[in-house]
């Protein structure tokens, strides 16, 4: 008898493969559509209030999660429907291929000395002001974005998908998108964005640490040391203002043997961050190593997510949704 989580495992792997083969569409991406809709809701209910912000987060993220629950329930009537829905949702929420492509393009721009092109590319990776950044600072920003977004765009959604299926995939992406929209320490969002930022922190608590551990374990594949990466993660991970981003960035810094952190400027607002790692500032070549590490971490996370979903199938037992791939039929006894 086929179990729901077994279908989920296949769907997660298929969706990850789709993301690797087919990057995010340039137009009408479902996440962008959600962001546009959330922006309209924000404009209607915004106030410098944590209560209003919590309501905004609950309406936007909760609505998407409930839609995912309804879709999963409908699809659970057949194995094929469940696999296809999970694969489609996984592809929608993952951003590993696009992340790697953007960072690789940045590396090429820096390698050819095209600083103007590199500065134009930076907003696709992070929100820092690129105008005054030199090559080393742009390379640092790129590696830091790769590290943190390997969690946000790959590891975290896969992990939530393994535990909760389609509602977990869509709900996590909604929360993470809301955090990117309103979870800033600015005058407008200091209170309104508080709920989205805190919910995103909770949602990434386990995925961020898994991302760091996987980066450390895979460090030898990019010329690094697992022991050094783990030591850097444990020592420097809390030097970052984000309780989760610091774990990812410190692990990447240790795995690559570079030094991250420092002064960042966002829309005129300056933020001082602690130093992560012991090496030199990253260069263009280090970006390519970070891209490779990010891809390896994503692949390992996909395999782990599928294994976790399969284990959950054994723990939870047969699917009780009312659908069965191989229904048991009663065989009449021979009374002769």
Residues 240-278: pLDDT tens digits? 888 999 999 999 999 999 999 987 877 667 777 889 999
Q: At what angle do helices 284-316 and 156-164 cross, to 10 degrees?
A: 10
The percent helix, strand, coil of the chain (3-state, each to 5) is 70, 5, 25
Contact indicator for 193, 335 with CB cutoff of 8 Å: no
Q: At what angle do helices 50-75 and 30-45 cross, to 10 degrees?
A: 150
Contact indicator for 200, 175 with CB cutoff of 8 Å: yes
Phi and psi for 264 in degrees, rounded to 5? Answer: -120, 145
Q: Which residues of the chain have pLDDT under 70?
A: 1-5, 26, 267-268, 314, 316-336
Contact indicator for 179, 61 with CB cutoff of 8 Å: no
Structural domain spans, the chain: 4-316
Q: What is the pLDDT of residue 25?
A: 74
Contact indicator for 317, 3 with CB cutoff of 8 Å: yes
Q: What is the pLDDT of residue 244?
A: 95
Structure tokens at 278: 């012991």
Looking at residue 239, what DSSP letter applies? G
How many alpha carbons lie under 13 Å from residue 176 in its C-beta half-sphere? Answer: 29
Looking at residue 260, what DSSP letter applies? B
* Distance in angstroms (rounded) separating the CA atoms of residues 252 and 143: 8
Structure tokens at 105: 């393009």
Q: What is the pLDDT of residue 184?
A: 86
Please name the helix (run of DSSP H) or strand (run of DSSP E) that holds residue 271, with its range, or none. strand 269-272
**Prediction pTM value:** 0.90
Nearest partner of 251 among 295, 186, 297, judged by Cα: 297
Q: What is the total residue count of the chain?
A: 336
DSSP string, 177-210: HHHHHH--SSTTHHHHTHHHHHHHHHHTHHHHHH
* Distance in angstroms (rounded) separating the CA atoms of residues 157 and 124: 20
* Distance in angstroms (rounded) separating the CA atoms of residues 86 and 84: 6
Structure tokens at 35: 């962001």
Coil, helix or strand at residue 258: strand
């Amino acid at each position: 008898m086929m179990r729901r989580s077994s279908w989920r495992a296949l769907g997660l792997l298929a969706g990850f493969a789709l993301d690797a083969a087919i990057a995010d569409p340039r137009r009408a991406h479902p996440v962008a559509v959600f962001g546009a809709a959330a922006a309209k809701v924000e404009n209607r209910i915004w106030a410098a209030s944590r209560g209003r912000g919590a309501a905004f987060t609950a309406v936007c993220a909760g609505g998407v999660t409930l839609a995912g629950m309804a879709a999963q329930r409908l699809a659970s009537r057949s194995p094929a429907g469940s696999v296809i829905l999970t694969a489609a949702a996984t592809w929608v929420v993952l951003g590993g291929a696009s992340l790697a492509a953007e960072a690789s393009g940045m590396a090429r721009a820096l390698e050819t000395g095209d600083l103007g092109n590199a500065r134009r590319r930076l907003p696709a990776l992070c929100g820092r002001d690129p105008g005054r950044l030199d090559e080393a600072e742009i390379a640092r920003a790129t590696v830091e974005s790769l590290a943190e977004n390997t969690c946000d765009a790959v590891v975290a959604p896969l992990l939530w998908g393994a535990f909760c299926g389609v509602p977990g995939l869509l709900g996590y992406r909604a929360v993470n998108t809301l955090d990117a929209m309103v979870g800033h320490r600015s005058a407008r969002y200091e209170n309104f964005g508080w709920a989205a930022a805190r919910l995103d922190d909770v949602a990434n608590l386990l995925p961020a640490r898994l991302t760091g551990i996987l980066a450390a374990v895979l460090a030898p594949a990019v010329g690094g040391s697992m022991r050094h990466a783990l030591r850097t993660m444990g020592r420097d991970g809390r030097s970052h203002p984000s309780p989760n981003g610091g774990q990812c960035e410190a692990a990447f810094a240790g795995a690559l043997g570079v030094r991250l952190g420092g002064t960042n400027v966002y829309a005129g607002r300056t933020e001082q961050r602690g130093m992560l790692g012991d090496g030199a500032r990253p260069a263009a070549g280090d970006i390519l190593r970070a891209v490779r590490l990010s891809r390896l971490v994503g692949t390992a996370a996909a395999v782990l997510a599928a294994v976790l979903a399969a284990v959950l199938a054994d723990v939870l037992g047969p699917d009780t949704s009312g659908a069965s791939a191989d229904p048991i039929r009663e065989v009449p006894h021979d009374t002769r």
